[in-house]
Amino acid sequence: MIGDLGAADATALAAMVARKDVSPGELLDAALAAVEARNPALNAVVLLQEGVARKAIADGLPPGPFRGVPFLIKDLGIEAKDFPSHNGSRLLANTTYRLDSAIFERIKATGVVTFGRTTSPEGGIGAATEAAVYGGPTRNPWGLEHTSGGSSGGAGAAVAAGIVAFAHGSDGGGSVRIPASSCGLFGFKPTRARLPDGPYAGEGWAGMAIDGFLTRSVRDTAVMLDACEGADLGAPYWAPPLDRGHAAAISRPPRRLRVGICDTTLTGEAIHPEVAEAVRATGRLLEALGHQVEPSRPKADVPMMMRAWTDIVGIGTALSIRSKIGDRAPREDEVEGVGRGAWAYARTLHPTRYLEAVGEIHVFGRQMARYFDEGPDILLSATLAEPPAKVGRFSHLTEDYVAYRTGPEGIFAYSPFCAIFNASGQPAASLPLGWSQSGLPIGVHLAAAFGQDELLISLCAEIEQAAPWAGKRAPMAG
């Protein structure tokens, strides 16, 4: 078992350490051996810091719930003074930080042994992870010709391949849930501002972005969320307080719920038949568990939301580039095509457009809040409109940023569900409940009203118990 981290979740590994069945150093050895054996095919783990990890063990790990468990952080956004970052970009390569971010301080306090970073696409704006700074695409352990998703694609691949039992990710438009769906994992996006953003940022993408985790079990996510939740000093706003906490919430099933099921996109377009069937099968499972399941679709202005999301993220990308090189245009050897296109597109927008787009996101959030207030407790849909895409389909070569996001073959067509809940701020999760005929994972998506994280994660745990997925593992994970 020591040589195969993918055989146990992080909670089980921490229990092994507590019983002294295995040492933190031995678990780190196993993780590094898995990197050496599996990462060349995946290109998922980068910027290894073995010395930092060894020193953390030698200095004494905090007595947290995951003491001694190997861990990886995403190479985007999570600032850590001992972990230089490329942020998925040649322009931002080898960035160093003077202080740890609040989220990383809380992660460290759980006792994990962080030893490196995982790949992400430049700017975090893709549903695939194929950044030039890493020398090639990140691939899916379930099928190397397919993407592991984005933007936390390296994290998803590393967990699915058994390199680590869980890993950090972040989600501004589905970036935890898309890799979870692609890699057969559990991914949970909390309510807006449930986790801290400081001190380097007040909010990400007008509040649409938030940290999260890629895990093989609901309990690992629940415990890590409890360890990290809560506003940090100076936060501009915070989420409604929890009642008992995520871990307590999964200790018993939720009340019987009203579940709205949607086996199309939320605007009524057909999705891949295998994905639609996975949604319907989950609906039947929920009915068997005693929940009330009825067809439902929110009456919300999704096209408006997608335009606003695209403009906010385009402006944010331009700001990131400008912070490094000023007002000159980025060169091809500095920024990939989509990023250069976002920079150019942002320059065409009226100076008032950013605040207008934020206002539209807020209007959309109220529309979605009304839907849950007047309708179901839970909305059930697919996570992606089809099984995992082939590598290269969402490369960043194109400079047409708007078409890349909103065109008929763009990312919103492929992932029409996830960003909706970044815009609304509501909690949402992807569960690995379906499989294509070719053996690729298919994620099923559940979402709840703003602040109802405990209700949602409790339902996820009930589903996990009724339809366990832990025994399904990618071929290279052993």
Q: What are phi and psi of 9, to 5 degrees?
A: -85, 175
Closest of 113, 117, 149, 159 to residue 134, by C-alpha:
117
Pairing state of beta strands 143-147 and 139-140?
Answer: antiparallel
79, 100 contact by CB (below 8 A): yes
What is the secondary structure of 112-148 as a DSSP string? -EEEEEE---GGG--SS---GGGTS--EETTEEEEE-
222, 461 contact by CB (below 8 A): yes
Q: What are phi and psi of 261, to 5 degrees?
A: -115, 135
Closest of 86, 447, 99 to residue 298, by C-alpha:
447
**Is 458 marked active-site?**
no
Q: Which amino acid is at 372?
A: F
Distance CA 245, CA 225 (A): 9
Annotated active-site residue in 89, 101, 151, 415? 151
Closest of 129, 88, 125 to residue 315, by C-alpha:
125
Distance CA 236, CA 259 (A): 33
Cis amide prior to 151 (ω within 30 degrees): yes
**Is 20 marked active-site?**
no
Closest of 431, 468, 453, 449 to residue 181, by C-alpha:
431
Cis amide prior to 199 (ω within 30 degrees): yes
Q: Which amino acid is at 387?
A: P
Q: Which amino acid is at 381?
A: S
Compute the half-sphere exposure of residue 284: CA atoms within 13 Å on the CB side of its CA. Answer: 7
Annotated active-site residue in 148, 170, 175, 217? 175
**Is 151 marked active-site?**
yes
Distance CA 379, CA 290 (A): 16
The three-point CA angle 226-44-204 to 5° equals 50
- Biggest CA pair distance of the chain: 62
345, 317 contact by CB (below 8 A): no
Annotated active-site residue in 74, 148, 152, 182? 74
Q: Which residues are catalytic?
A: 74, 151, 175
